[in-house]
A and B are shown apart, each in its own frame.
Chain A
Amino acid sequence: MRRGRLIGLAVALALFLALALQPGLFTPLLSLLVEPGTPLVYTRQSLIALAVWHIAVVASAEAVAVIVAVALGILVTREKGAEFMTLARMTSNLGQTFPPIAVLAMTVPLVGFGFQPTFIALAAYGLLPVFENTVAGLRGVPATTLEAARGMGMSKRAILMQVELPLAAPVILAGIRISTIINIGTATIGSTVGAKGLGEVIIAGLQAGNAAYVLQGAMLVALMAVCFDLAFRSLERRAFA
């Protein structure tokens, strides 16, 4: 299983890099999709630059989301913060019902077009899975383990840092994985509000009726998501061990 995952990751990554760096290699395939004479490779921006932008916006939003969500998750699982549990749960459940496109669309009136609405929407939307999983992970730590740690005379802080968080790490990582994958997809929609990224290629293709553009954009985004998914899954495995 682990080997299969690594091979899958290597293949997906190789395909992704080949398509992003040398799209010319794929022209025979792309030419099957469109009428002769239509442009095959998106040239308004280099694909690799768009891919880097895409990753940059997702990563920066994800960083904020993870810090805030893990902090909140820790807060509501402490004795003092228990009162806020219902509140946090409900907000998080409600948040899940907000479609990403709606979050995006509602941020634009506040901050205008471009990088910011996408960043804010991604950070807000990325919070939820991380928060849910942080709470689930911390709650999943067996009471007997906590008892033992307390019996050893560990301080609350030491228990959190040395027992609870390491034990919850795989579940938290799974939350970060889910949130990153969702956000790679949502960042694509971000191109409709003027954020730089691979969505630009797909949307240009949809607007011009150019299936070759759509395919290369879609392939790049899908491969990127698959790469991150597999990479995170192997990390989770490692965190278990």
Chain B
Amino acid sequence: MGISVPLQRRAGSGAPFSHAALVYAVPCVLALLALPFLSFRPNRIVSGEGVQVWDVAEGWGLVGTAALFVLAGATVLAGRQAARALLGFLGVALAMAVAGAGAKDLMADAPQFARVSLGGGFWLSCAFFALAAADALMRLDLRPLVRLAVAGFVAAALAAALASGWFDSLSLMQEYRANADTFAAAFRGHLILVGGSLLPALAIGLPLGWLCHVSSRARAVAVPILNILQTTPSIAMFGLLMIPLAALVAAIPELRRFGIAGIGVTPALIALTLYSLLPVVANTMAGFRAVPVETREAGRAMGMTRWTLLRQVELPLAAPVILTGVRIVVVQNIGLAAVAALIGGGGFGTLVFRGMGQTAMDLVLLGTLPIIAMAIVATILFDAAIDTMQRRRP
């Protein structure tokens, strides 16, 4: 939380990362050896028995295991970062393919309510392959547009894979099919919470940040208050906001017509907006403060008015830092919005908490994975935008 500076550009190094690559490859192999790849359960809520990766589906298991080990080793030995990235992505794809095939095989002659879930071996090996790929991409130091293209390609490949039906025997996909409507509503709800809190946060935070930049008195009042707001735990904030809103609605019942209520979307949006203020204000202040005094004076000497100076000089120079604040807020709110479900605010938290209530872990995952995906997508998009802005600068 708090202020963050934009990512520093690192010089791209083409050198192999020998030792560092081992940090991905070794745990990846260990996870595959030690942890079950899939788990077979008699029904949806009981814990099941693990299936090791070499035991899954006739043929797939042994060949798949060997290929995964080879890929893990290759990421260490690869001479070029691009090759390493490709190998990492191949590793993820192969692990997914093996899991899909294994699930299909296990479910072929299973009783009606049986389920096949993904195990720790699958998740960890996928995570380490993905990390190896991400690490390699980062060291390649790609241009923002190329980075977006790579991300778009990976997303498209993932979507195509999920749509292909290869994974339909997995419990996760069964949960999706059973909850497709809720899933769509949760996605909409989540977007509404994140987007709906961002706009007011910017409308209040940007002017407030500028005010705090020019007036030390405003800063002395606003910053401690925002600090306390940021300190309040999310559940507490959601809970506390219910009370005045419920009282307000009780006093003025007409408000109900506009969808304002003690529980639901309204308190969630207000809470998320309040949480967004500190990062926006802090980064706006930091952005303006970083504008060199000489630049400002040069502008003034050219006869610029205060407004022109702000619009044409200060704001463009402060923009990357301000945008970093916006990125922090969006990523933070994507996570916090999940908690909103506790007060009926909707979003993917609905699936998470319903899953916890039913001890159906795949339903929890169905709610959790899109949250993480959204956070990663937001990070990639914002980083590309911030990077573009910084590169444009002389």
Contact = CB atoms under 8 A, between A and B. Distances in A.
Interface of A: 33, 83-84, 86-87, 90-91, 93-94, 96-102, 105-106, 108-110, 113, 129, 178, 181-182, 184-186, 188-189, 192-193, 199, 202-203, 205-206, 211, 214-215, 217-219, 221-222, 225-226, 229
A192 B353 contact: yes
**Which among A101, A181, A203, A219 has the greatest number of chain B C-beta atoms within 10 A?**
A101
B236 A222 contact: yes
B131 interface: yes
Nearest to A97: B375
Considering the complex of A and B, which 9 residue pairs feature the smallest CB-CB distances, nearest first?
A99-B335, A185-B233, A218-B236, A214-B239, A97-B375, A109-B361, A218-B239, A102-B368, A221-B236
Given A102-B368, A108-B361, A225 B135 contact: no
A225 B352 contact: no
A94 B231 contact: no
Secondary structure class of chain B's binding surface, majority of residues: helix
A99 B240 contact: no
A90 B138 contact: yes
B364 A105 contact: yes
Contact of A99 (B10, B135, B342, B371): B371
Contact of B1 (A109, A182, A215, A218): A182
10 contacts: A84-B23, A86-B138, A87-B135, A93-B379, A94-B134, A98-B372, A178-B2, A202-B236, A222-B233, A226-B231
B56 interface: no
Nearest to A206: B342
Nearest to B361: A109
Contacts of A199: 235
Contacts of B338: 99, 101-102
Contacts of A189: 234-235, 339
A86 B236 contact: no
B356 interface: yes
| B interface, size bucket | 35 or more
B235 A97 contact: no
A73 B372 CA distance: 25
A221 B379 CA distance: 30
B331 interface: yes
B179 interface: no
A18 to B, nearest CB: 18
Interface of B: 1-2, 10, 17-20, 23, 117, 120, 131, 134-135, 138-139, 227-228, 231-237, 239-240, 242-243, 246, 331, 334-336, 338-339, 342-343, 349, 352-353, 355-356, 359, 361, 364-365, 367-368, 371-372, 375-376, 378-379
B194 to A, nearest CB: 12
Given A94-B134, A109-B364, A222 B231 contact: yes
Contacts of B19: 83-84
Contact of B239 (A94, A129, A206): A206
A38 to B, nearest CB: 14
Contacts of A33: 243
B138 A99 contact: no
A105 B352 contact: yes
Contacts of B372: 97-99, 102
B375 A101 contact: no
Contacts of A94: 131, 134, 376
A84 B343 CA distance: 42
A192 B2 CA distance: 27
Contacts of B117: 109
A205 B239 contact: yes
B364 A86 contact: no
A206 B228 contact: no
Nearest to A110: B120
Most chain A CB atoms below 10 A, which of B233, B331, B338 = B233
Contacts of B228: 226
A205 B342 CA distance: 11
Contact of A90 (B18, B135, B353, B356): B135
Contacts of A192: 342, 353, 356
Nearest to A229: B231
A105 B236 contact: no
Contacts of A99: 334-336, 338, 371-372, 375
Given A86-B135, A185-B236, 12 more contacts: A84-B19, A86-B20, A98-B335, A99-B372, A101-B349, A108-B356, A182-B1, A185-B235, A192-B356, A202-B236, A206-B342, A222-B233
B58 to A, nearest CB: 27
A181 B236 CA distance: 13
Contacts of A203: 235, 342
Contact of A178 (B1, B239, B242, B368): B1
A83 B20 CA distance: 7
A97 B131 CA distance: 14
Given A97-B375, A101-B352, A221 B20 contact: no
A20 to B, nearest CB: 15
Nearest to A185: B233
B235 A215 contact: no
B20 A225 contact: no
Nearest to A96: B331
A207 B139 CA distance: 49
B232 A225 contact: yes
Contacts of A211: 242-243, 246
Nearest to A106: B368
A206 B342 CA distance: 7
